[in-house]
Every structure is written in C-alpha cells, then in structure tokens.
Amino acid sequence: MKARRALTAAALATGLVLTLAGCGGEDGSGKKRASSESTSAAKNDDGDKKPSHEPTEEKVLAEVSNSDARLVITSAVRDQGGFLTVSGTVTNAGGKFWNPSQWRGDEKELNANGASMAGAALVDKAGKKRYLILRDTDGRCLCTQFTGGLKPNEEKSFFAQFPAPPESTTDITFQIADMPPADIQITEGE
C-alpha cells in the first residue's frame, strides 16, 4: 500500500513539474521561453508592442432622454438563435428617486414585471412591423427589472430581448413608454 501511494505521489509530482515547465522556462535550447501569460503583448505592423487585451470603448448607438431618465443604447446584436438583444444603460436624470413602473407596458400579462423594460418594442419601419419583448412561459419578460428603482444620478445597465427582424433589416427604432424613439443599427452576433 505504501509503495502504491509513493508511486501515485511520484506520478502526480512528475505531472505537475511537466505542467509548470510547459508554462515557461527553458525551451530545450538553453533559451528562456516566455509563458503564455507574459506574451499578452502583440506586435503590430510597425513592430511596436501593444497589449492584446485593449479595453474596448463602448459605442453609443443612440441616446434619448426625458425629464426623468437618460437611456443610452450601446448594442443591438442579432444572434444565431433568431433573437435580437438590445443593451445599454439607464440613468436617473431627475433630482429625486425614480421608479420606472410605467416602462412595464400596458399589457395585462406584463403587470407582474414591475419596474422593468417589459414595455419596450422594436419597430421595423421599412418592413412595417413591430416586435414586442420576448417573455417566458410565466409571462416574465426577457429583460432587466429595476428592483428598488434608481436614486438621483444612479446608472444601471439594461438588456431587452426581442424576436430578430429579417436579416435584410439593419435599421430599427427602439421604443419604451414616454421616452423618445431611438433609431439604432443592428449588428450580427457570433
């Protein structure tokens, strides 16, 4: 039994040493080889080094506001499953606490969604079609719910998922409650 434990320990130790050796150290020719973590800088065409994981700046597709809130849409992505997800941020632009209860929509089925993006819709003007937010079998929207509302100047992220318009449709209008309509462009997902 002791021999078996010793053999198992030796095998584990050898595996660990080989794993660590694969992460950095010498490459067999006596030269130091960098680990994959330390090679996070890539060279561009000029030979300069730049980080491969540069922070990406969020592109603003649309920004609309009223006396209570500011809505910024940063993406409208069509995915392979036939859905379109709109996302961005909502900021309380008023000077007092704000609960977007009117955003849940007028449909009776959506009443249980509280302060959420449930009342959002997409309009395809060219195709003359309106797309309502997706719901699960219990009538809950596939969207952000703003539990607890927003304090003055507070910003929260949101998403809202819809059936995707046809592939030929690239321009749509996002609408919700008393906010002005926001014209946005759809991008293709992965």
> For 28-46, what is the mean pLDDT?
43
Q: Residue 190 has what pLDDT?
A: 59
Q: What angle do CA 93, 97, 100 make, to 5 degrees?
A: 75
The pLDDT tens digits of the residues spanning 59-99 come to 899 999 998 899 999 999 998 889 999 999 999 998 899 88
Alpha carbons 157 and 26: distance in angstroms, whole number = 46
Compute the mean pLDDT over every residue in the chain, rounded to the nearest whole number: 76
Most distant CA atoms of the chain, gap in Å: 78
What type of residue is 16?
L
The pLDDT tens digits of the residues spanning 156-169 come to 999 999 999 999 99
> For 9-28, what is the mean pLDDT?
48
Going by the DSSP 8-state scheme, the letter that residue 176 receives in this structure is: -
Query: In 81-127, which residue ranges form alpha helices assigned H by DSSP?
Result: none
Q: How confident is the model at residue 175 (pLDDT cuts 50, 70, 90)?
A: very high
> For 165-174, what is the mean pLDDT?
94
Q: Which of 44-58, 64-78, 125-139, 162-176 has the lowest mean pLDDT?
A: 44-58
> For 29-44, what is the mean pLDDT?
42
Task: State both tokens at 80.
Answer: 């392979």
Domains and CATH numbers, the chain: 62-188 (2.60.40)
Q: What is the DSSP string of 26-46?
A: E-SSS-EE--TTTT-EEE-TT
Q: How confident is the model at residue 118 (pLDDT cuts 50, 70, 90)?
A: confident
